[in-house]
Structure 1
Amino acid sequence: MKKSIISLCGLLFFAAQSCDVLDKDPVEFVSTEETFANATEETLQSYCNNFYPDLLSGHGAFNGYSFGMLEGDFQSDNILPWSPNTVAFSQHPISTKDDQWKWEIIRACNAYLEYYELAPVAESIKQHYAGEVLFFKCMDYFNKVRRFGDVPWYDHILIPGDEDLYKGRDSRTVVMANVLKDINQAIAWLPTKATTGVSRVSKDAALALKARMCLFEGTFRRYHNIEGDVEFLQAAYDAAGELMKPEYGYSLFQGSKPSQAYHELFIQENYNSNPEIILSREYDPALGGANNVSRMIGVGETPIGFSRDAIEDYLCAKTGKPVTLCGCEGHTKHTTLVAELNNRDPRLLQTVASPEAGEHSYQLNGKRAGISSLLPGLYNSSTGYAIAKFFNPAEFSTVHHQGTLDAPLFRYAEILLIRAEAGAELGLDPELDKTINALRDRVGFTHHLTANPEQDPKLVKEYPTIKGTNANLIREIRRERRVELMAEGYRYSDLMRWACGLRLNEPKLGIIPDKAAGNEDPTAYTEEEYKTLETQLGFVNGALDIYTKRVTNPVPNFIEPKNYLFSIPTDEIGLNPNLKQNTGWNL
């Protein structure tokens, strides 16, 4: 049974005028005060329910047409959709409007925080929902800072004539100092997940958000030369360490067996009893809240696929080395796609569908993926690497909006990665056996990361500038983060905070297609098919070049420092000249 929060999320704010304060007369605040003065616990909860669908996107809007969390990686070097992503190519223009530069959520949060003490309910109840409001206010500000950098900080309701309506942008140091203060207050007020359940914001979720925000901010400052990095890295390390304490009860989901545990984690109808999930978003067609993820992946009407670069970060299972260095047949030197995918970190074949018949074939059913409309197959991919993560064959349907899979918004694995990375950056103990090696143990990957790993030239090229004391360890932790969080929407933000945006200018490649040689290789292409791929796409070092021949402007153009932030919407600058444009975006 799913909880009723799904059906409640469609309610209007009971204090709806708080969402459009700038357009309202001051007299309208009287009704807001009166409403709070007569509020019940249910009223306060209903107010908070409206933040959930706006900020916890999960697998997308109810009954929408979305790949959900996968879409976050479209603008990175992890997933290459058939239609190129403008952000991944750094070809997004200066914006006139931007949905992220909206202040309705901040206004609604400030309205609650200004009036909630008027509610005639127990203080613990008021503080519980004030904690939820602070959580969402922090999340909205975090999203804005990641996108725009400096933004105005508002901690009160604005009314017509308020001089703050026309203030400039506050520095990210001011904004994030306030966010850190507010998330600490949320942690103090919120009950634990054991009380709230996995689908409602809890103390645990607030600690997870703090860890995520502080890791981003600490590393962004470190690699973009902004003061204050150590404070935030320490806060990330400590928040992750708090959640690792036994009293919180978290552990990694083990699944039915190591060869399926990772895949099974992402295809569950609910996470009520899952020990890894800290916060999830619920979906239930029976309550009008379905998603479309398995259908979008399985039908392949909008082809997507993993990049070759992403696949090459999965280590060899025989040696524990990078596949460029292991010397194994099919790895260092390509033979077939099946050989390339086999004998790797087991998470690879629980993330990518194999053309080989067996437990890891998923939607391919023992056949190769089609290459979009060029060579259509049972399942169409953009790169030849078919995405299996978040695909549940048991609930796949050709009919839209039947998806029941809940979305894991915060999970314990991310907390372990944060602990390891923040620790390595600070020169503290990354607790590798509790963090990175625990993630490997879950899937039966027996090669453990050590404190002094061998240098991988691929990672040196990928992450050339490391400011922590143990560069090779930090690079390996970044590899682990990419592998463990693949297709969950983190990669773009990670590249931005590490000042590695130039990675987006690298060639965007797919599989090395195998030529038929009279055998039963399910990946092989006939001479005619191979010629089609060569003519329509072309190759780079034998791998499919996904965009160069068929896209009008195929050259990615990430520019430093411009593209580390988005532009401030010009319409907003027109209304408020005190808002200054980000570097590189001036017309």
Structure 2
Amino acid sequence: MKHIKLVILLLLGAVVVSCQKDFLEPVPSSGITSANYYTTADEVETAVINMYDGIQGVNSTDPDDNHGVQNEFYLTEMRSDNTRTKSQEGEAAQFESYNVAATNGIVSNYYASFYNVIFRANVVLANLGVVEDPKAAAKFEAEAKFVRAYAYFNLVRLFGDIPLIDRVITPSDTDVQFTRVATSSIYELIESDLTTAIAGLDNTYKTRASKAAAQALLAKVYLTEGNYLPAQNLCEDIINTGSFGLMDNFNDVFYSELNKEIIFAIGYLASPSSDSEYFSAEWMNGVGRSSGVNYVTSDAVGALDASGGDRTQYSYRIDPFQTSQNQVAKYFPNGDSGGADGKTFANDPTTAGNDWIVLRYADVLLMHVEAIMAGANETSNGAALTSFQKVRNRAGLTTPVTSVTKDDLLLERRVELAFENHRLFDLIRFGKAESVLSAYSANNGYGYTSSDLLLPIPQNEINISKGLMKQNPGY
């Protein structure tokens, strides 16, 4: 973990803080060691905010910077049948062709970035003793455990067995850093952390952890494990609060930020550039760290055209310069349309302020259907039909449904949540990844095999572990 070791050393010497739009923005400090900095609740809160800064990532062109969630679409959407590169060139094209190398820098960056997020969460947990107010301490613990669970849930689904680091470690703790533990142990920690988070949080924030965010994330964890009744109960807890709802206009979900549909989002600001994001510019081609990535596949276009309803016009658009190609339209930088030429934006598109939505209410409604279905191929349960119909009604698809099959639900999730990094995980959770991705790969001349459902452990981790870490099969 070369990157992680470096970050640990840096963070032990200084405290880095973030600017988020709907919570406290503390003043940065420097030249303060971890041994003497955390003495008050306010100081611990800077470490809390620093966790979200880690997820947000650094907007830069330096491949060694931790880019947080900004690289996630490569590892998720571009390994599904939803998106690809424009020209099938470069390191990015490894994802769509199912030919990811263990030396892939994007994979390495994501792995290091999210272990750095875990480190930041562990820093908060290690310093709760200085918080005199028990309520404040419980809230900080809940936030840190939500963030740690979120990071681990992403990592375990992408890499399988991984190191479990539940405390602050130093670079000398190689036995912890490089010992891969069973996924079941990772899920035990995730469940425990989210249970604590649910007990200690309310629904004050949308770009910080909340009770509903912890409930929704735990529901998805349970669905992944096939634990359906607890998942159903968690979804119904969120639904019954009355605190969330579907936006009337689908487009407003993405450009009316912090709206009633948002449960948890990663906050970005167009200024300063350190709090902005670049990935929406990359999707518009020719701007950002890369270009022509996350382009929409013909498979996804076909699904949206046939089943998207009102969502289709807001989900993709034809590339203005190459009309045989299609671009993601949910995240125009800063909400700009891109102008007539597709590249002219009112502001610098590489410093966009679009929040990245992690959990939203439509996802919860569809998870509710999935939980009630409980692994069966079909359901006509009234509560499931109600949740399913609400999502379709918003899309203008108002014909009443009398039953929902697993394929219906998977399709509805695809067109509702297209390009929001859910598709690959949905295919795996529904048990459809092997059949869908094999057919998709064969149709496009790609090289998918079952081992491609997991990413390789970054080769630099294997190298510096000195034989402690073993690679995933197929790499």
- Where does residue 306 of structure 1 map in the other structure? 296
| Structure 1 contact 64–401 (Cα < 8 Å) conserved | no
Deviation at 1:558, TM superposition (A): 1.0
Name the CA distance, whole Å, in 2 between partners of 1:386 and 1:570.
32
- Where does residue 411 of structure 2 map in the other structure? 479
Deviation larger for 99-108 or 490-499: 99-108
Q: Is structure 2 residue 98 aligned with structure 1 residue 113?
A: no
Q: Is structure 2 residue 243 aligned with structure 1 residue 249?
A: yes
Name the CA distance, whole Å, in 1 between partners of 2:31 and 2:395.
44
Name the CA distance, whole Å, in 1 between partners of 2:176 and 2:31.
23
Which one-letter code corresponds to 1:384 in the other structure? Q
- Where does residue 474 of structure 2 map in the other structure? 584
User: Deviations along 1:407-427, whole A, 9 cap, x unmatched?
Assistant: 322211111111111221345
- Where does residue 462 of structure 1 map in the other structure? none
Which one-letter code corresponds to 1:500 in the other structure? A
- Which structure has the larger Rg? 1
The within-5 A match list for 1:163-312 is: 164-165=175-176, 168-190=179-201, 192-193=202-203, 195=204, 197-215=205-223, 217-218=224-225, 229=226, 231=227, 233-245=228-240, 247-254=241-248, 261-268=249-256, 270-271=257-258, 274-288=259-273, 289-292=275-278, 296=282, 302-303=291-292, 305-312=295-302
Task: Say if 1:12 and 1:572 are closer, same or farther in 2 by CA, change over 3 A.
Answer: farther
User: Which residue among 349, 354, 363 is the counterpart of 1:405?
Assistant: 354
Superposition RMSD in Å: 3.5
Deviation at 1:262, TM superposition (A): 0.9
Structure 2: give runs of 5+ residues left out of the alignment. Answer: 1-18, 339-344
Name the CA distance, whole Å, in 2 between partners of 1:115 and 1:124.
15
Q: Is structure 2 residue 373 aligned with structure 1 residue 424?
A: yes
Name the CA distance, whole Å, in 2 between partners of 1:567 and 1:68.
16
User: Deviations along 1:69-117, whole A, 9 cap, x unmatched?
Assistant: 7654233211232133312211112348823444443344334323312
Name the CA distance, whole Å, in 2 between partners of 1:129 and 1:43.
11
Name the CA distance, whole Å, in 2 between partners of 1:409 and 1:127.
24
| Structure 2 contact 206–263 (Cα < 8 Å) conserved | yes
SS in 1 for 2:359: strand
- Where does residue 500 of structure 1 map in the other structure? 433
The within-5 A match list for 1:423-572 is: 423-426=372-375, 429=381, 431-451=383-403, 473-497=405-429, 498-501=431-434, 503-506=436-439, 555-560=445-450, 562-572=451-461
Name the CA distance, whole Å, in 2 between partners of 1:383 and 1:74.
18
- Where does residue 149 of structure 2 map in the other structure? 138
| Structure 1 contact 199–281 (Cα < 8 Å) conserved | yes
Deviation larger for 571-580 or 180-189: 571-580
SS in 2 for 1:140: helix
Deviation at 1:169, TM superposition (A): 2.0
Which one-letter code corresponds to 2:232 in the other structure? Y
Name the CA distance, whole Å, in 1 between partners of 2:160 and 2:410.
23
Deviation at 1:63, TM superposition (A): 7.0
- Where does residue 22 of structure 1 map in the other structure? none
Task: Say if 1:7 and 1:189 are closer, same or farther in 2 by CA, change over 3 A.
Answer: closer
Task: Say if 1:64 and 1:234 are closer, same or farther in 2 by CA, change over 3 A.
Answer: farther
Name the CA distance, whole Å, in 1 between partners of 2:163 and 2:94.
27
Which one-letter code corresponds to 2:55 in the other structure? L
| Structure 1 contact 9–52 (Cα < 8 Å) conserved | no
- Where does residue 97 of structure 2 map in the other structure? 89
Task: Say if 1:13 and 1:306 are closer, same or farther in 2 by CA, change over 3 A.
Answer: farther
Name the CA distance, whole Å, in 1 between partners of 2:351 and 2:150.
29
Task: Say if 1:382 and 1:235 are closer, same or farther in 2 by CA, change over 3 A.
Answer: farther
| Structure 1 contact 12–50 (Cα < 8 Å) conserved | no
| Structure 2 contact 97–441 (Cα < 8 Å) conserved | no
Task: Say if 1:76 and 1:129 are closer, same or farther in 2 by CA, change over 3 A.
Answer: same
| Structure 1 contact 252–412 (Cα < 8 Å) conserved | yes
| Structure 1 contact 145–151 (Cα < 8 Å) conserved | yes
Name the CA distance, whole Å, in 2 between partners of 1:287 and 1:181.
36
| Structure 1 contact 234–426 (Cα < 8 Å) conserved | no
Q: Is structure 2 residue 55 aligned with structure 1 residue 55?
A: yes
Q: Is structure 2 residue 100 aligned with structure 1 residue 99?
A: no
Task: Say if 1:398 and 1:75 are closer, same or farther in 2 by CA, change over 3 A.
Answer: farther
Which one-letter code corresponds to 1:582 in the other structure? N
Name the CA distance, whole Å, in 2 between partners of 1:394 and 1:267.
11
SS in 2 for 1:410: strand
Which one-letter code corresponds to 1:350 in the other structure? Y
Deviation at 1:134, TM superposition (A): 0.5
- TM-score, scaled relative to structure 2: 0.77
Task: Say if 1:202 and 1:69 are closer, same or farther in 2 by CA, change over 3 A.
Answer: same
Task: Say if 1:564 and 1:68 are closer, same or farther in 2 by CA, change over 3 A.
Answer: closer
- Larger helix percent: 2
Name the CA distance, whole Å, in 2 between partners of 1:13 and 1:449.
62
Name the CA distance, whole Å, in 2 between partners of 1:63 and 1:430.
49
User: Deviations along 1:365-398, whole A, 9 cap, x unmatched?
Assistant: xxxx45xxxxxxxx23574334332233468336
Which one-letter code corresponds to 2:392 in the other structure? R
Structure 1: give runs of 5+ residues left out of the alignment. Answer: 17-30, 219-228, 255-260, 317-321, 323-343, 354-368, 371-378, 454-472, 510-539, 541-547, 549-554
- TM-score, scaled relative to structure 1: 0.64
Q: Is structure 2 residue 330 aligned with structure 1 residue 389?
A: yes
| Structure 2 contact 102–458 (Cα < 8 Å) conserved | yes
| Structure 2 contact 26–46 (Cα < 8 Å) conserved | yes
| Structure 2 contact 250–314 (Cα < 8 Å) conserved | yes
Deviation at 1:578, TM superposition (A): 4.0
